[in-house]
């Protein structure tokens, strides 16, 4: 093999390497996570009332524990929508000693396959597959239990085994 062909082959290798890097980069850009759909109309977080803050990891029980989810202000009986394509896995029971409150456990499919969303104080309409934005349940009235609280649903999100700030699903957009 001459020195020239050797250099030429090295050049080809470098070009192929560069091509693969660019290809992988563009695939990762195309596959960037889309933003989840709002799960209620006019979605707003519960920031502060006499019961505390509804933000993720807000202090609870005088600092003994942290809030595991994000609270979203709702009127009782409002529609709840699927945040992305997925499956309603099961019903959840927020309070062991109070069966009147229910919840929805929702697992994503496709690009959201790693995500599980729990929505408390909402009655689900069905189990099984749901499309992004599909009507999946109705909010309940939490003021029957805590009369002075800002009525809300409580949303917990897991990505794999990690509990994450639900704001991330909506990219802090409300």
Site residues (vs Zn ion, CB under 5 A)? 69, 71, 154
Query: Closer to Zn ion at the Cβ: 86 or 94?
Result: 94
Block residue for tokens 């945040």: 83
Q: Closest separation between CB of residue 23 and Zn ion, Å? A: 44
By the 8 A CB rule, do 57 and 66 touch?
yes
- CB neighbour list of residue 162: distance below 8 Å, 6 or more residues apart: none
Output 85 or 101, the one with its CB closest to Zn ion: 101
Nearest distance from residue 153's CB to Zn ion, in Å?
8
CB-nearer residue toward Zn ion: 127 or 149: 149
Find the shortest distance in angstroms from Cβ 69 to Zn ion.
5
| Between 37 and 58, CB nearer to Zn ion | 58
Report strand pairing: 152-159 vs 70-73: antiparallel
Shortest reach from residue 111's CB to Zn ion, in Å: 27
CB closest to Zn ion, residue no = 154
Measured from the CB atom, the residue of 119 and 136 that comes closer to Zn ion is: 119
Compute the distance between CA of residue 30 and CA of residue 171 in angstroms, rounded to an integer.
17
SS3 72: strand
Q: Which two tokens stand for residue 157?
A: 């999100």
Q: How distant, in Å, are the alpha carbons of 88, 93, 105 from that of 126? A: 7, 15, 11
Query: What token pair was written down for 53?
Result: 């803050």
Closest distance of CB 144 from Zn ion, Å: 16
Residue 59 token pair = 């202090």
């Amino acid at each position: 093999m001459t020195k020239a062909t050797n250099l030429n082959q090295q050049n080809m290798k470098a070009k192929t390497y560069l091509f693969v890097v660019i290809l992988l980069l563009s695939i990762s850009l195309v596959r960037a996570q889309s933003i989840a759909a709002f799960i209620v109309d006019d979605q707003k977080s519960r920031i502060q009332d006499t019961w505390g803050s509804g933000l993720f990891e807000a202090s609870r029980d005088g600092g003994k524990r942290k809030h595991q989810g994000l609270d979203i202000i709702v009127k009782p009986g409002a529609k709840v929508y699927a945040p992305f394509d997925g499956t309603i896995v099961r019903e959840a029971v927020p309070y062991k000693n109070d069966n009147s409150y229910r919840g929805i456990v929702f697992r994503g499919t496709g690009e959201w396959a790693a995500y599980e969303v729990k929505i408390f104080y909402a009655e689900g309409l069905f189990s099984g597959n749901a499309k992004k934005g599909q009507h999946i349940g109705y909010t309940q009235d939490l003021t029957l239990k805590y009369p002075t609280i800002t009525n809300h649903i409580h949303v917990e999100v897991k990505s794999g085994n990690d509990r994450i700030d639900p704001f991330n699903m909506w990219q802090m957009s409300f």
